[in-house]
Amino acid sequence: MKVLLVGASGIIGRGIDAELSQRHEIIRASRSSGDVNVDLIDIASIRAMFAKVGKVDAVVSATGKVHFGDFSEMDDDKYRIGINDKLMGQVNLVLVGRDHVADNASFTLTTGILSKDPIRYGSSASMVNGAIESFVRAAAIEMKPGLRINAVSPGVILEAMEGYAPYFRGHAPVPASRAALGYAKSVEGLQTGQVFEIF
Amino acid sequence: MKVLLVGASGIIGRGIDAELSQRHEIIRASRSSGDVNVDLIDIASIRAMFAKVGKVDAVVSATGKVHFGDFSEMDDDKYRIGINDKLMGQVNLVLVGRDHVADNASFTLTTGILSKDPIRYGSSASMVNGAIESFVRAAAIEMKPGLRINAVSPGVILEAMEGYAPYFRGHAPVPASRAALGYAKSVEGLQTGQVFEIF
Calculate the alpha carbon distances from A66 to A127, A194, B39, B162 in Å. 10, 22, 27, 40
pLDDT, position A99:
96
**pLDDT > 90? residue B38:** yes
Q: How far apart are CA B63 and CA A177, in angstroms?
A: 43
Segment B131-158 shows an average pLDDT of 98
The radius of gyration of chain A from alpha carbons, rounded to an integer in Å, stands at 16
Closest residue of chain A to B92, computed from CA coordinates: A76
pLDDT computed for residue B141 by the predictor: 98
Q: How far apart are CA A63 and CA A199, in angstroms?
A: 19
pLDDT tens, N- to C-terminus, chain A (199 residues): 999 999 999 999 999 999 999 999 999 999 999 999 999 999 999 999 999 999 999 999 999 999 999 999 999 999 999 999 999 999 999 999 999 999 999 999 999 999 999 999 999 999 999 999 999 999 999 999 999 999 999 999 999 998 888 999 999 999 999 999 999 999 999 999 999 999 9
CA of B157 vs chain A CAs: smallest distance (Å):
20
Contact B71 A139 (CB under 8 A): yes
Are B127 and A138 inside 8 Å of each other by CB? yes
Question: Which domain, by its residues, includes B184?
Answer: 2-198
Q: What is the largest CA-CA distance in chain A?
A: 47
CA distance B54 to chain A (A): 20
Count other Cβ atoms within 10 Å, centred on residue A24.
17
Q: Spell out the long-range contacts of B21-25 with Cβ–Cβ below 8 A and sequence spacing 24 or more.
A: B23/B188, B24/B58, B24/B187, B25/B1
How many Å apart are CA A84 and CA B13, to the nearest integer? 31
Residues of chain A in contact with residue B135, where contact means CB-CB under 8 angstroms, are 123, 126-127, 130
A55/A51 Cα distance (integer angstroms): 9
User: Closest residue of B to A69, CA-based?
Assistant: B142
Per-residue pLDDT, A163 = 87
Handedness of CA A56, A59, A63, A66 (dihedral sign): positive
Q: Return the bridge partners of B58, or none.
A: B3, B106
ipTM for the predicted complex: 0.97
**B48 pLDDT above the threshold of 90:** yes
Specify the higher pLDDT residue, A85 or B165: A85
Position B163 pLDDT exceeds 90: no
Distance from CA of A22 to the nearest CA of B (A): 34
Give me the amino acid identity at A76: D
Contact A109, B118 (CB under 8 A): no
Mutation for B interface: A127, A128, A143, most B CBs within 10 A: A127
Helix (H) or strand (E) run with residue A110 in it: strand A106-110
**Across the interface, do B138 and A127 touch by the CB < 8 Å criterion?**
yes
Position B184 scores a pLDDT of 98
Greater confidence, B162 or A115? A115
Give the number of other Cβ atoms within 10 Å of residue A190's Cβ: 9
What's the total number of domains in chain B?
1
Domain with residue A68: its CATH number is 3.40.50.720
Query: HSE of A22 in the Cβ direction (CA atoms, 13 Å)?
Result: 11
B96 pLDDT higher than 90? yes
Contact criterion met (CB < 8 Å) for B130 and A128: no
Sheet of strand B36-37: strand arrangement: B36-37, B25-30, B2-6, B58-61, B106-110, B148-154, B195-198
Distance from CA of A124 to the nearest CA of B (A): 7
Q: What's the pLDDT at B60?
A: 98
The whole-number pLDDT of residue B79 equals 98
In the sheet with A36-37, reading across from the earlier edge strand, the strands are A36-37, A25-30, A2-6, A58-61, A106-110, A148-154, A195-198
Do residues A112 and A154 make contact, with C-beta atoms less than 8 angstroms apart?
Answer: yes
The pLDDT of residue B83 is: 98
In angstroms, the Cα distances linking B60 to A42, A109, B98, B152 are 36, 33, 13, 10
First and final C-alpha spacing in chain A: 27
Given this model, what pLDDT does residue A126 score?
Answer: 98
Give B-chain residues touching A140 at CB under 8 angstroms: 118
Question: What residues are paired with B153 via a beta bridge?
Answer: B197
pLDDT, averaged across chain B: 97
Are B79 and A71 a contacting pair at CB < 8 A?
A: no
pTM of the model: 0.98
Smallest CA–CA distance from B82 into chain A, residue: A131
